[in-house]
Amino acid sequence: MSLPDKAFPVSWDQFHRDARALAWRLAGLNQDFRAIVCITRGGLVPAAIISRELNIRLIETVCIASYHDYVNQGDMNVLKGITADLLTDGGKGVLVVDDLTDTGKTASEVRAMMPNAHFACVYAKPKGVPTVDTFVTEVSQDTWIYFPWDMGFTYQEPIAKGHKG
């Protein structure tokens, strides 16, 4: 298994700051969201933070599996859909939250279910940017984001190690 060369490790503190920054952007839209639909599993943590910051109490999940081997994105597999109440009017007034849009396949799958919802994610890669409405940080397509829930505490080699100057 080989992962992309560029690594972007994100600590819990950094992720919390970035998710709150996303909440600030969403608050600036002056839109009353009636519910959050978080795309599991990555959307669970930012949805919790955003629901607190925007005082949104109704939270639903849509469960889609896509990264089957953590390197190649597999076929979309909808494990759990969205309740009918939130699908009315194409999801108008619903905020869809995820941690990352990579290729945009997952967001496109959910957008087909809820074309009028507002899509937000914390991080975005160029291929995924057109599939979301609001995001905080863009990283290059060849960067692998290491989320805090995927990591343990270990020594990290300096970036410059092995580079001749």
| Residues designated catalytic | 98-99, 102
Of the candidates 157, 164, 161, 118, the one whose C-alpha atom is nearest the C-alpha of residue 9 is 157
Compute, in degrees rounded to 10, the torsion defined by CA atoms 151, 156, 160, 164: -120
Spatial separation of the C-alpha atoms in residues 119 and 99, rounded to whole Å: 11
89 is in an annotated binding site: no
87 is in an annotated binding site: no
100 is in an annotated binding site: yes
In the DSSP assignment, the letter for residue 129 is G
5 is in an annotated binding site: no
50 is in an annotated binding site: no
Q: How many CA atoms within 13 Å lie on the side-chain side of 63? A: 2
Provide the residue count of the chain.
165
79 is in an annotated binding site: no
145 is in an annotated binding site: yes
CB 99 within 8 A of CB 147: yes
52 is in an annotated binding site: no
165 is in an annotated binding site: no
41 is in an annotated binding site: yes
Question: What residue numbers does the annotated binding site for 5-phospho-alpha-D-ribose 1-diphosphate cover?
Answer: 41-42, 98-106
Question: What residue numbers does the annotated binding site for GMP cover?
Answer: 102-106, 144-145
Question: What residue numbers does the annotated binding site for Mg(2+) cover?
Answer: 99
Question: What residue numbers does the annotated binding site for xanthine cover?
Answer: 102, 145
Question: What residue numbers does the annotated binding site cover?
Answer: 41-42, 98-106, 144-145
